[in-house]
Structure 1
Amino acid sequence: MFSVTVESAGALQQLAGELLDVSDGGLLLALPESLAVGTRVEVQLETPVMAFALPGRIVWTGTLRGPSQPHGVVFDLEQGPPFAQRLYEIARQSW
């Protein structure tokens, strides 16, 4: 798994989660708490070669699985296939 930090708009704390999948339009995250669909978030990713923060919003949530719940996040700005491919390669190395 690849660790991420999620800060939701208006929240006083950050959530530590896991990156499950990536596309050029968004991310699939596992988070320990449920965030409502439509919640604006900033997803912070730190890898051995780069660190960045991606603004977006929650577009769906799934059924709780163990200690975490899946969340779909769409980026505010589409990052494009090269970004998604590079991030996937970096994340896959840590999986």
Structure 2
Amino acid sequence: MQTKMPGLGSAPITVMSLRRQASTPTIEFKVIEGDVLVGRTNLAPLPNKWIDTEVEIKVGNGSAGHVGWIVRSGGATVLNVRKSGVDT
């Protein structure tokens, strides 16, 4: 999943991706400017069930923004992180 500014040809601001850390499958959320990792969690407990993700973005230039990311599985919170001081 990506968030972008409105308009044609805009670059991503944030990206939620499936990645592999060494041999471990993960899901992660990053702010592109500055390559800031907001959070990452192991996929092992998540397959074959519905998961919910919640993203909160405060838009701000330089270090005025913040990003929050919550991952829930079966009603339980798997990850709840927030990065402040990011360029969004």
TM-score by structure 1 length? 0.27
Q: Which has the larger radius of gyration?
A: 2
Question: Normalized per residue, which structure has more helix?
Answer: 1
Instruction: Return the TM-score normalized by structure 2.
Output: 0.28
